[in-house]
Amino acid sequence: MAIEGVLSSRGRVRILRILVENGELNISEIAKRAGLNYATTKGHLNALEEAGIIQQRRFGRIRLYKLNEENPKAAMLKKLIESWK
C-alpha cells in the first residue's frame, strides 16, 4: 500500500495514533477509541496488516494488534505521529 492509501483515511490515521499511544489493543477497544464501528475497524486493520504496518497476535478468539516496529515504514509513521503531538 502506498503512503497515500495509509494517510488518506482518517480511520487508519486514528488507528495508527491509538496503537502508537497505547501499544497493543484488541479490535473492540481500537474501534471504541477510534469512534468507528467494528466492521470498518476490521477493514482498516486488515489493510494495515497487509501493508506490514501492524501485526496481530492471537489468543484463542482474541486478536491483539500492535504497530510492527520492525517494518521501517511503520517506524517512520510512529516517529511522525509522536512528533505531531
pLDDT by residue for the chain (85 residues), tens only, comes to: 777 777 889 999 999 999 999 999 999 999 999 999 999 999 999 999 999 999 999 999 999 999 999 999 999 999 999 998 7
- Nine cell digits for residue 83: 512528533
CATH topology assigned to domain 3-80 = Arc Repressor Mutant, subunit A (1.10.10)
User: So what's the pLDDT on residue 6?
Assistant: 79
Q: Which residue has the cell 512528533?
A: 83
Question: What pLDDT does 4 receive?
Answer: 77
Residue 15 burial (CB count, 10 A)? 27
pTM across the whole model = 0.91
The C-alpha atoms of residue 25 and residue 80 are separated, in whole angstroms, by: 20
Cβ-in-10-Å burial (0-12, 13-18, 19+) of 31 comes to buried
